[in-house]
């Protein structure tokens, strides 16, 4: 089967690459099977009988990526980057993660160090102060950082995907310089304010209002569950500019923090990721210049949805890191703890748990990598990103749960990190799109593919 | 005349905190297949020092060098990501690699240092897998250069290098003229984490490839490893009630 694929690739003219910006990723893909968008009828399509044009690309994506599932290793640069982040997580985050969790401390020093390494702005071009790497590199970085400390991974993810992400995609050059560059160093972090007390999943029903008064926008309303709120220096906030247009009347704004008219609610006392601050953002006649609108008027909903699409890959990576940490903890314990005269790793009951955990993590990881690679290749990735987030967050809660089970009584106490992984994992099924919403997104995309 | 280039010589070692290092069944050595390898921690410190000297503008170029099989290029790339300018990989593999010891490595480094006209050669003081602590000293001897070993502080002062050495009695400060060989000790510095942009840039930096024969070095070992054994398992101790009992027991088993 593979031979036939290979002979077809040789037959085809040189692949049209949709993006010139990729370095390692496309080169790496070329080593397996190149993802190319073939225009018009061609022998491959005829051979496999795909007729629908959107399915053409998707079919090629799927088949091209099927070979990715057999990938032996990542490109060298990504491996090096992953190792660097892993070393940092093991040496600097692992030892303090328990303390950060117990004392609800924001890891300011570590965030600055990560900023110096370029991890707080992985996708941002070097000209703006970022690391200039691709989304796969970002996904690997977040996974490794989250493995050390789930909360720090959350801070990294929110800053990269939710705050910098939309500005990078929809901002003007001036906005990028003003609102991205200072946030690449780790000195400042940003946040993303979409949810409100009255709507979470129902994002189109934003009741925060923005009205124009002369040369300013005046914002009024409340945003809820905003991660990084107490530690952020700026926020991307969504407000309704034209109520009659419903979700097409929502716009995005950039607001510095602190700012007159913007106040913070009390810090929520959370089950997990306790080193991050989560609070309400209260806007009372908060005035910002007209130039602070992000994107065009009424495009806020679109900006939010596209941002969350990419953000999902970041959260999937965070969930993977937490799941992996839980698995590492359980597997290590299985070697050391003896019962019935042997290490408990010899017992099938424990072995089956570890195997199930490993399969859950690895399959979620491959989904996450695929989603990241599709995004880097500028291909549609909405469905895969939703699948990745769903799989990874469910893997994280599963691994967290089973890890405590493997550790038994030790898993229930704070002496071992298993209970922290269990608590940190839970939020990944909720924020940036609940598991239920992910299922709706996946089903929506799937049904579109089969529509005749 | 400011020093032109500094050579940092790297060693690829077995990861020290890997839980189980096993002796091969035929007792000829230690199992290395499938064991994670990484840059020797003292070599990381050496790279950091060289990059620091370059940042302070004392030197113009840092070259990372290592001998071994293809795996070693990863180590060189890590050094490039930390700030070295280019790399040299001296390929040694198979039987030659297993027999390779400090003397062969020192000969290679010495030949390279002479060929490339290095002003400073910096190494880690010892590799954590064999703990030989010989390569630096041998390299200096072969080159007939002064050496500053176990360095915990290095300052370049015109044509000379001031080295504070950690010795058994405390700290010894020496001044040696360049070209010289230095070996890095634990407290010399804290190695940096490679930044993501530097990892990207490292991809573009050159790693030259050569063989020991190109440098006229013969790799024949003068040392034959007869046998490798695990340390004896620790036996349970014996508790005694009084000092007299202790003395009696020690006399009984011939210790005193």
Which member of B196, B202, B203 has the closest CB to residue A118?
B196
Top-confidence residue, B34 or A182: A182
Q: Is B202 on the interface with A (CB under 8 A)?
A: yes
Categorize the per-residue pLDDT at B19 as very low, low, confident or very high, splitting at 50, 70 and 90: low
Is pLDDT of A258 > 60?
A: yes
Is pLDDT of A51 > 60?
A: no
Which member of B77, B193, B196 has the closest CB to residue A87?
B193
Which member of A24, A113, A126 has the closest CB to residue B197?
A126
Spatial CB neighbours of A175, under 8 Å, sequence gap ≥ 6:
A167, A254, A291, A294
Across B82-228, where does the E strand assignment appear?
Answer: 86-91, 120-124, 147-157, 160-167, 170-177, 180-184, 207-210
**Chain A contact set for B202 (CB, 8 A):** 77, 80
Q: Is B77 on the interface with A (CB under 8 A)?
A: yes
Q: Distance (Å) from the C-alpha of residue B76 to the closest C-alpha of chain A? A: 11
- Residue A416 phi/psi, 5° resolution? -110, 150
* Tokens, residue A428: 């990944």
Q: Across the interface, do A80 and B193 touch by the CB < 8 Å criterion? A: no
Which member of B78, B196, B200 has the closest CB to residue A119?
B196
**Chain B contact set for A88 (CB, 8 A):** 193
Coil vs helix vs strand at A425: helix
pLDDT at res. A205: 79
Categorize the per-residue pLDDT at A404 as very low, low, confident or very high, splitting at 50, 70 and 90: very high
CA angle, A402 then A324 then A378, to 5°: 130
Categorize the per-residue pLDDT at A397 as very low, low, confident or very high, splitting at 50, 70 and 90: very high
pLDDT averaged over chain A? Answer: 86
Q: Kindly report the pTM of this predicted structure.
A: 0.80
Categorize the per-residue pLDDT at A69 as very low, low, confident or very high, splitting at 50, 70 and 90: very low
Average pLDDT over every residue of A129-148: 95
Categorize the per-residue pLDDT at A15 as very low, low, confident or very high, splitting at 50, 70 and 90: very low
Which member of A80, A132, A141 has the closest CB to residue B81?
A80
User: Per mean pLDDT, which range of A37-51, A110-124, A305-319, A372-386 is the poorest?
Assistant: A37-51
Average pLDDT over every residue of B137-153: 94
Q: At what angle do helices A76-88 and B72-82 cross, to 10 degrees?
A: 70
CA atoms of B163 and A115, how far apart (whole Å): 34
pLDDT at res. A54: 41
Spatial CB neighbours of A253, under 8 Å, sequence gap ≥ 6:
A210, A217, A219, A236, A237, A238, A239, A288, A292, A293, A294
Residue of A126, A144, A432, A436 marked active site: A432
- pLDDT tens-place string over residues B190-222: 999 988 888 888 888 999 999 988 888 888 888
Coil vs helix vs strand at A285: strand
Which member of A80, A113, A122 has the closest CB to residue B77?
A80
C-alpha dist (Å) from residue A139 to A143, A312, A371: 6, 10, 10
Q: Distance (Å) from the C-alpha of residue B96 to the closest C-alpha of chain A? A: 27
Categorize the per-residue pLDDT at A71 as very low, low, confident or very high, splitting at 50, 70 and 90: low
- pLDDT tens-place string over residues A193-205: 999 999 888 888 7
**Chain B contact set for A87 (CB, 8 A):** 193
Top-confidence residue, A36 or A216: A216
Tokens 């053409």 locate to A56
CA atoms of A42 and A60, how far apart (whole Å): 12
Is pLDDT of A16 > 70?
A: no
How many CA atoms lie within 13 Å of B129's alpha carbon, on the beta-carbon side? 22
Phi/psi class of residue B27: alpha, beta or left (left: φ > 0; alpha: ψ in -120 to 50)? left
- Within 10 angstroms of residue A367's Cβ, the number of other Cβ atoms is 24
Q: Is B135 on the interface with A (CB under 8 A)?
A: no
Spatial CB neighbours of B24, under 8 Å, sequence gap ≥ 6:
B30, B31, B228
CA atoms of A333 and A344, how far apart (whole Å): 8
Q: Across the interface, do B200 and A122 touch by the CB < 8 Å criterion? A: no
pLDDT at res. A200: 87
pLDDT at res. A405: 97
Average pLDDT over every residue of A160-189: 96
**Chain B contact set for A132 (CB, 8 A):** 197, 200
Q: Is B200 on the interface with A (CB under 8 A)?
A: yes
pLDDT at res. A338: 94
Which member of A23, A24, A84 has the closest CB to residue B193?
A84
Is pLDDT of A63 > 90?
A: no
Helices vs. strands in chain B: H and E counts, helices first: 7, 11
- Residue A343 phi/psi, 5° resolution? -60, 145
Is pLDDT of B22 > 60?
A: yes
CA atoms of B166 and A39, how far apart (whole Å): 69
User: Per mean pLDDT, which range of A178-182, A244-248, A336-340, A421-425 is the poorest?
Assistant: A244-248
Nearest CA in chain A to B73: A76
Contact at 8 Å (CB) between A119 and A129?
Answer: no
Is pLDDT of B117 > 50?
A: yes
Q: Which of A117, A121, A136 to mutate to test the interface with B (most CBs of B within 10 A)?
A: A117
Q: Distance (Å) from the C-alpha of residue B90 to the closest C-alpha of chain A? A: 20
Which of B86, B48, B49 has its CA nearest to residue B161? B49
Residue ranges of the alpha helices (H) in A158-288? 165-170, 173-179
Which of B64, B60, B61 has its CA nearest to residue B79? B64
Contact at 8 Å (CB) between A204 and A247?
Answer: yes
pLDDT at res. A399: 97
Top-confidence residue, A365 or B100: A365
pLDDT at res. A39: 42
pLDDT at res. A256: 96
Long-range contacts of A69-73 (CB under 8 A, 24+ apart): A69/A366, A70/A32, A71/A32
pLDDT at res. A208: 94
- Within 10 angstroms of residue A452's Cβ, the number of other Cβ atoms is 4
Nearest CA in chain B to A87: B193
Q: Which of B48, B78, B199 to mutate to test the interface with A (most CBs of A within 10 A)?
A: B199
Q: Which of A84, A93, A160 to mutate to test the interface with B (most CBs of B within 10 A)?
A: A84
Which of A389, A421, A428 has its CA nearest to residue A405? A421
Tokens 């700030």 locate to B83
Which of A24, A45, A33, A17 has its CA nearest to residue A70? A33
Q: Across the interface, do A126 and B202 touch by the CB < 8 Å criterion? A: no
CA A313 to chain centre: 3
Is pLDDT of B18 > 80?
A: no
Contact at 8 Å (CB) between B125 and B110?
Answer: no
Is pLDDT of A305 > 80?
A: yes
pLDDT at res. A70: 38
Top-confidence residue, A113 or B30: A113
Phi/psi class of residue A132: alpha, beta or left (left: φ > 0; alpha: ψ in -120 to 50)? left
User: Mean pLDDT: which of B72-76, B98-102, B146-150 is highest?
Assistant: B146-150
Strand partners, A209: A220, A240
**Chain A contact set for B77 (CB, 8 A):** 76, 80
Q: Is the complex ipTM more than 0.95?
A: no
- Residue A84 phi/psi, 5° resolution? -60, -45
C-alpha dist (Å) from residue B126 to B53, B182, B205: 21, 12, 27
User: Per mean pLDDT, which range of A217-226, B4-13, B71-80, B138-147 is the poorest?
Assistant: B4-13
**Chain A contact set for B203 (CB, 8 A):** 23-24, 76-77
A268 is annotated as an active-site residue: no
Nearest CA in chain B to A138: B196
pLDDT averaged over chain B? Answer: 87
Nearest CA in chain B to A132: B197
User: Per mean pLDDT, which range of A174-183, B32-41, B226-235 is the poorest?
Assistant: B32-41
Q: At what angle do helices A150-157 and A135-148 cross, to 10 degrees?
A: 150
Contact at 8 Å (CB) between B141 and B135?
Answer: no
Is pLDDT of A216 > 90?
A: yes
Is pLDDT of A355 > 80?
A: yes
User: Per mean pLDDT, which range of A79-83, A111-115, B235-239 is the poorest?
Assistant: B235-239
Is pLDDT of A65 > 90?
A: no
Q: Across the interface, do B193 and A81 touch by the CB < 8 Å criterion? A: no
Element (H, E) at A227: strand A216-227
Categorize the per-residue pLDDT at A4 as very low, low, confident or very high, splitting at 50, 70 and 90: very low
Q: How many residues does chain A have?
A: 452
**Chain B contact set for A24 (CB, 8 A):** 203
pLDDT at res. A72: 64
Is pLDDT of A253 > 90?
A: yes
Is pLDDT of A19 > 80?
A: no
Strand-strand pairing, B120-124 and B180-184: parallel
Q: Across the interface, do B203 and A77 touch by the CB < 8 Å criterion? A: yes
**Residues of A at the B interface, defined by Cβ within 8 angstroms:** 23-24, 76-77, 79-81, 83-84, 87-88, 113, 116-119, 122, 126, 131-133, 137, 141
CA atoms of A385 and A442, how far apart (whole Å): 9
Contact at 8 Å (CB) between B82 and B49?
Answer: no
Is pLDDT of A8 > 80?
A: no
CA atoms of A379 and A65, how far apart (whole Å): 12
Q: Across the interface, do B81 and A84 touch by the CB < 8 Å criterion? A: yes
CA atoms of A354 and A335, how far apart (whole Å): 12
């Amino acid at each position: 089967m593979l031979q036939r694929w290979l002979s077809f690739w040789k037959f085809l003219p040189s692949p049209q690459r949709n993006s010139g910006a990729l370095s390692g990723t496309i080169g790496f893909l070329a080593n397996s099977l190149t993802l190319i968008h073939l225009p018009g009828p061609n022998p491959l399509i005829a051979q496999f009988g795909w007729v629908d044009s959107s399915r053409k690309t998707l079919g090629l994506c799927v088949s091209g990526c099927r070979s990715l599932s057999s990938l032996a290793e990542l490109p060298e640069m990504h491996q090096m980057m992953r190792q660097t982040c892993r070393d940092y997580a093991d040496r600097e985050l692992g030892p303090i993660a328990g303390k950060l969790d117990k004392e609800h401390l924001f890891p300011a020093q570590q965030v600055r160090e990560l900023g110096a390494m370029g991890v707080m702005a992985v996708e941002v071009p070097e000209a703006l102060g970022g690391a200039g790497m691709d989304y796969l590199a970002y996904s690997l970085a977040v996974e490794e950082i989250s493995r050390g400390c789930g909360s720090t991974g959350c801070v990294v993810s929110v800053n990269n995907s939710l705050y910098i992400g939309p500005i990078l995609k929809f901002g003007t050059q001036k906005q990028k310089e003003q609102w991205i560059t200072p946030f690449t160093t780790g000195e400042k972090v940003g946040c993303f304010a979409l949810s409100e007390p009255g709507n979470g999943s129902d994002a189109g029903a934003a009741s925060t209002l923005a009205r124009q008064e002369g040369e300013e926008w005046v914002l009024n309303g409340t945003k809820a569950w905003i991660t990084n709120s107490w530690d952020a220096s700026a926020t991307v906030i969504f407000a309704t500019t034209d109520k009659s247009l419903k979700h097409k009347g929502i716009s995005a704004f950039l607001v510095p923090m602190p700012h007159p008219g913007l106040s913070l609610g009390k810090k929520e006392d959370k089950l997990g990721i306790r080193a991050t601050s989560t609070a309400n953002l209260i806007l009372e006649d908060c005035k910002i210049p007209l130039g602070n609108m992000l994107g065009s008027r009424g495009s806020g909903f679109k900006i939010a949805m596209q941002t969350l699409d990419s953000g999902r890959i970041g959260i999937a990576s965070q969930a993977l890191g937490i799941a992996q940490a839980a698995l590492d903890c359980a597997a290590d314990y299985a070697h050391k703890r003896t019962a019935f005269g042997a290490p408990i790793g010899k017992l099938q009951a424990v072995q089956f748990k570890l195997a199930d955990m490993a399969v859950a993590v690895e399959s979620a990881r491959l989904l996450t990598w695929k989603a990241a690679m599709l995004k880097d290749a500028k291909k549609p990735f909405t469905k895969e990103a939703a699948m990745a987030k769903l799989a990874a967050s469910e893997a994280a809660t599963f691994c967290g749960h089973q890890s405590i089970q493997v550790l038994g009584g030790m898993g229930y106490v704070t002496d071992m990190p298993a209970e922290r992984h269990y608590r940190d994992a839970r939020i990944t099924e909720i924020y940036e799109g609940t598991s239920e919403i992910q299922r709706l997104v996946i089903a929506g995309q799937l049904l579109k593919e089969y529509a005749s | 005349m400011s020093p032109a280039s500094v050579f940092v010589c790297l060693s690829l070692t077995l990861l020290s905190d890997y839980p189980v290092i096993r002796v091969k069944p035929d007792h000829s050595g230690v199992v290395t297949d499938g064991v994670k390898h990484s840059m020797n921690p003292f070599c990381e410190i050496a790279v950091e020092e060289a990059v620091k000297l370059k940042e302070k503008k004392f030197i113009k170029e840092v070259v990372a060098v290592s001998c071994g099989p293809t795996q070693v290029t990863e180590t060189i790339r890590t050094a490039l990501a930390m700030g070295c300018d280019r790399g040299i990989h001296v390929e040694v593999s198979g039987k030659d690699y297993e027999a390779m010891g400090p003397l062969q490595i020192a000969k290679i480094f010495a030949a390279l240092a002479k060929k490339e006209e290095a002003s400073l050669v910096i190494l880690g003081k010892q590799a954590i897998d064999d703990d030989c602590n010989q390569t630096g000293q041998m390299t200096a001897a072969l080159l007939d250069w002064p050496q500053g070993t176990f360095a915990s502080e290095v300052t370049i002062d015109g044509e000379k290098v001031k080295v504070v050495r950690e010795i058994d009695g405390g700290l010894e400060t020496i001044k040696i003229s360049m070209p010289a060989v230095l070996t890095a000790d634990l407290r010399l510095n804290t190695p940096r984490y490679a930044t993501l942009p530097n990892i990207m840039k490292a991809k573009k930096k050159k790693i030259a490839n050569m063989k020991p024969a190109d440098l006229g070095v013969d790799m024949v070992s003068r040392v034959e490893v007869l046998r490798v054994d695990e340390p004896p398992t620790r036996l349970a101790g014996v508790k005694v009630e009084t000092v007299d009992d202790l003395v009696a027991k020690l006399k009984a088993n011939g210790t005193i």
